[in-house]
Amino acid sequence: AQSVTQLDSHVSVSEGTPVLLRCNYSSSYSPSLFWYVQHPNKGLQLLLKYTSAATLVKGINGFEAEFKKSETSFHLTKPSAHMSDAAEYFCVVTRPDSSYKLIFGSGTRLLVRP
């Protein structure tokens, strides 16, 4: 069964320090993977996507993620956290039965300390 696991429910960093949000997936085939961000009282905004092209994917707002097939990981990183990065982050994969259907991870809440 396809699934996606976000290893940390909460991550707290100081402003200006690096961010690492971890995501592992299990799959019998190569899914498309995404990171979405949800700010309070807002919908979801796409940060980046991986669709079997370059393994290092650059997204918006300085975020990037590296697809590592050998580790079945797709961790999200940012070199320097900003206060505005505080939000909920979701790692998402496509389902094997339909590339239009998505499976969401449980989410990681990022707290940025001043």
Partner 1 sequence: SAVISQKPSRDICQRGTSLTIQCQVDSQVTMMFWYRQQPGQSLTLIATANQGSEATYESGFVIDKFPISRPNLTFSTLTVSNMSPEDSSIYLCSVDSGDGNQPQHFGDGTRLSIL
Contact residues toward partner 1 (CB under 8 A) are: 32, 34, 36, 41-46, 49, 51, 90, 94, 99-102, 104-107
Minimum CB–partner distance for residue 81 and partner 1 (Å): 23
Minimum CB–partner distance for residue 111 and partner 1 (Å): 15
Nearer to partner 1, 37 or 112 (CB): 37
Contacts of 57 (CB under 8 A, 6+ apart): 48, 49, 50, 64, 65, 66, 67
Nearer to partner 1, 13 or 89 (CB): 89
Nearest partner of 4 among 109, 108, 91, 101, judged by Cα: 91
Nearest partner of 35 among 66, 11, 71, judged by Cα: 66
CA 33 → CA 24, 52, 58, 84, 106, distances in Å? 10, 9, 13, 24, 15
Minimum CB–partner distance for residue 58 and partner 1 (Å): 15
Nearer to partner 1, 57 or 81 (CB): 57
Minimum CB–partner distance for residue 99 and partner 1 (Å): 7
